[in-house]
Structure 1
Amino acid sequence: MGNFLRYFWDFFIDNHNRPKSLLRNSIATPSLVASIYNAKYVNGMPLERINKEYLRNDIHISKQVLANWVIQCAERYLGIMFDYLQKELLTFRILQADETPVFVTKDGRPANSKSYMWVYRTGKGYKDTPIILYEYQKTRKTEHPQEFLKNFHGTLVTDAYAVYDSLDRKNPDIIFAGCWAHGRRRFAEAIKAIPKNRRESAQDTVAYQALKQIAAIYHLDNGLSGLSPERRRQERQLTVKPLVEAFFAWAKDVQMSNRLSKGKTLEGISYCINHEKNLKVFLDDGDVPLDNNATESALRTFCVHKHTWRLIDTIDGAKASAIAYSITETAKANNLNPFRYLEFLLTELMEHQEDTDQDFLKDLLPWSDKIPENCRIKTKD
């Protein structure tokens, strides 16, 4: 449990000496609430298990009270930091986006209606101040990323979901870069579907030839990772672009030949040709990655956790979860200890809860030199 219980006992401190409290008429303190957030959103413990762990230690805080603390502190405190981080995010030139389904039981719709957790992050490797933000929405409609990104001007790396194609047509301020991993995935699935006793003949397949060419593109591009963005762009034009052009010429020949029947290989060929423009964007910008894998990685914690708790009870809970995952994932991406950073944030935001000027928030950003040393994870030399 680590920090989960270790910092619980500070609520016994004489609270009447505190000039401000985190929540009115509550024993909640920054350390206690931070430990609950850490248990749920970093370690993936459902509130029911957190409640049971408390009871085993003769600590009586109901699941409902825990849920209320999580929601109230997200709305009152962490949400302020979320909004500030979103403004920072939209100043970046390269962003990446993805989404994953989630079930919310009390959202006014029939049972088993899918909701979605969208994630937006700064471009992988672009600048050293990463931001990862989650946003809960009831649907997968275009209006959601359109609203979230309405002040963004730059390149967005995504998969080929139709919502982004629609947004591409509506927003001339955004360049949409495609994801090579999604095209490659269909060819890999085609090879995997070949029976084991016939794998030796896989090298003669279109899927294998496609994977071989895409692997060569990745190999060359990965070798440019240590270069400056401008130098990488130049080298991409000289060395990677010919491979990309050759791949698309080959793919179009395969498509025109009608050699393929329905299946994953044909899907992969069609995907690549249909999104040729977007898949070539990385060639003209040294900061644009080949794929959207970094965003999928940013969603991984949430996807692992939702297999544990399966459902979110309310819309307020879903929104609070989006804020909490945003803060904890951004903290981890900036090499901060999520518990310590949450404790620091809640303490500072509590002290500034009556401030109308939000300039103090810049000192709370995960990369600020004002962040206490105990929030930073020590790296080995």
Structure 2
Amino acid sequence: MNEQAAEQLPDDVDTLKALLLQKQQRIRLLEEQILLMRDKHFTSGSEQASNQLGFFDEAEAEADAEPPEAPTTASPATTPKKPAGRQQLPADLPRVRREHDLPEEEKICTCGCQMREIGEETSEQLDIIPAKIQVIQHVRKKYACKACEAGVKTTPLPAQPISRSSASPGLLAQITVAKYQDALPLARQEKIFHRIGVDLPRNTLASWIIRCSQLVQPLLNLLEDRLRDGPIIQCDETPVQVLKEPDKPPESQSYMWVRLGGLSDESVVLYDYYASRSGEVAGTLLSGFNGYLQTDDYAGYHAVGAEKGIIHLGCWAHARRKFIEAQKVADSKNKKSKGKDKNKKNRPSKADIALNYIGHLYGIERKCKHLSPEERYQLRQAKSLPVLNKLRSWLDKNLPGALPKTALGKALFYLQKNWEKLCVYTEDGRLNIDNNGAENAIRPFVIGRKNWLFSDTTNGAKASAALYSLIETAKANDLEPYDYLRRVYAELPQANTVEAIEALLPWNAKEALLAEKRALAEGGEG
């Protein structure tokens, strides 16, 4: 330290001690931030907490409360193993029989007698036929009267997904699924088509995508109604860059929002594009909804979550992540201290104790996964509430001494701030412990964004939202996206009534699609 800096220090010892303590806390905070940044960039993105088996006695002394009676991590002995050996190929795939017979001279036994067939031995290989491009010719017969020559009659062409276009429902379904399910940008699809001898420029593909999104809007309107009829909506959002967003620079961020909900047997996933992440957007997306709203702690949801008729749930997965970060910091410090004193026994950190409680809550959820809502409610009341009460007592004891800006402090204060919302899930067996459903629903978009990076226009971003909605809703209802979209693109142009459009909702179309798949497997025309 130079003389000028030394002269600026206060002379009072108590003031110097306070200043030193402040600097030490600052250094500790910066060290934690560096550790977490290194961990984020150079280690696995798994949220798996470190195994802390056998620390329960020490945890009990630390928490002044009995911790969960057993670790939540399943031991290898209790984990079901996959059958050894090659797995059977799916029975519903068509089979092509190829017979391999002995030459006639080898069918003579060494004793001179003719050998007889007594059976056969069958082995199977999986084969694939590359994509086949074909041209569908729509031939319409023309009729005229030779007697009066009044005119010519021709049956009208059935309504097509894109009028006066060479794109069939099957081709449009393939392009849509390739981009929004398989994350293949249109530029890459253009090259794939070129390799098989078809010239489809990417601007043509982009135009078709936008036209398809406009076509399916009536179906999306019905899905919106079904979403709001359900008792629960989960929400999440993620950034997206749109180059030609009005009144915004190209490098600015816009947002793709996702909502997940519906009835128990009708899952709905809806994407919506908006230029901002403001609470006004959340209010628009949830206006008129009455029921449970589950989100993370983003402030944009606070206002709508406080509205009459809405009960706001928290997300235990987000609370858990913060303690995992605190655990990484604690583990790093333990390694350093153990390096100085190899005989030192590491006590469980406060993050370890919190993660153990949270892990036990998730263990209870695994047990009640296949129960009815009423049975799930009863189990949570009997098992989850006692764990929550112990965790609450532990939190009250450790919160006063926590430094708010440290990783542990952030985790503890997050838990304190969201405690009431985090406990709501125990009040209704239909509710989830976390918001992972919405996060899983938005993950395909995040994966796709890594490939195509940005949207050129707002129309393109809105088209993406519409088609992601149909694909993810189809998947949520156990439908194969290509089969479902091909049917939607083929039948929606001819659907002139609400009943006809409702027949194309995923849960209504499922039986017809399964019948079509069975027919194809049996060799029929489908």
Fold conserved between structures, TM > 0.5: yes
1:218 to 1:14, Cα distance in 2 relative to 1, 3 A: same
Match of 2:372 in 1: 228
Are 1:152 and 2:294 counterparts? Answer: no
One-letter amino acid matched to 1:372: L
| Contact 1:142–1:164 (Cα < 8 Å) also in 2 | yes
- Larger Rg over CA atoms: 2
Aligned pairs (5 A) from 1:70-89: 70-75=209-214, 77-89=215-227
Deviations 1:224-282 (A, max 9, x none): 223221222122122211111221221122112x1446322111110111011100101
| Contact 2:219–2:502 (Cα < 8 Å) also in 1 | no
Deviates most, 308-317 or 139-148: 139-148
Aligned pairs (5 A) from 1:366-377: 366-368=506-508, 371-373=512-514
Match of 2:361 in 1: 217
- Per the TM alignment, residue 374 of structure 1 is displaced from its structure 2 partner at its CA by 5.7
Are 1:53 and 2:192 counterparts? Answer: yes
Which consecutive unaligned segments of at least 5 residues does structure 1 have? none
| Contact 2:404–2:410 (Cα < 8 Å) also in 1 | no
- Per the TM alignment, residue 218 of structure 1 is displaced from its structure 2 partner at its CA by 1.5
| Contact 1:335–1:377 (Cα < 8 Å) also in 2 | no
One-letter amino acid matched to 1:114: Q
One-letter amino acid matched to 2:385: K
Match of 2:264 in 1: 127
Match of 2:203 in 1: 64
Deviations 1:119-142 (A, max 9, x none): 11127xx71321111111110111
- Per the TM alignment, residue 199 of structure 1 is displaced from its structure 2 partner at its CA by 9.2
Deviates most, 106-115 or 187-196: 187-196
Deviations 1:283-321 (A, max 9, x none): 111111110111111111111111011111110000000
- Per the TM alignment, residue 145 of structure 1 is displaced from its structure 2 partner at its CA by 2.1
Q: 2:319 aligns with which of 183, 194, 208?
A: 183
Q: Which has the higher helix share?
A: 1
Q: 2:449 aligns with which of 281, 284, 306?
A: 306
Deviates most, 202-211 or 183-192: 202-211
- Cα distance in 2 for partners of 1:202, 1:44 equals 46
Match of 1:32 in 2: 171
Deviations 1:47-95 (A, max 9, x none): 00111111122211111111000001111x2122111111111111012
The secondary structure found in structure 1 opposite 2:415 is helix
1:65 to 1:259, Cα distance in 2 relative to 1, 3 A: closer
- Cα distance in 1 for partners of 2:290, 2:513 equals 33
The secondary structure found in structure 2 opposite 1:204 is coil
| Contact 1:202–1:208 (Cα < 8 Å) also in 2 | no
- Cα distance in 2 for partners of 1:316, 1:140 equals 18
Q: Percent identity?
A: 34
Match of 2:280 in 1: 143
| Contact 2:241–2:455 (Cα < 8 Å) also in 1 | yes
1:141 to 1:261, Cα distance in 2 relative to 1, 3 A: closer
The secondary structure found in structure 2 opposite 1:344 is helix
Which consecutive unaligned segments of at least 5 residues does structure 2 have? 1-127, 141-155, 339-344, 520-526
Q: 1:14 aligns with which of 138, 157, 168?
A: 138
1:175 to 1:199, Cα distance in 2 relative to 1, 3 A: farther
1:261 to 1:370, Cα distance in 2 relative to 1, 3 A: closer
Deviates most, 226-235 or 188-197: 188-197
| Contact 1:157–1:176 (Cα < 8 Å) also in 2 | yes
**Number of residue-to-residue matches in the alignment:** 367
| Contact 1:3–1:35 (Cα < 8 Å) also in 2 | no
TM-score, length basis structure 1: 0.90
RMSD: 2.3
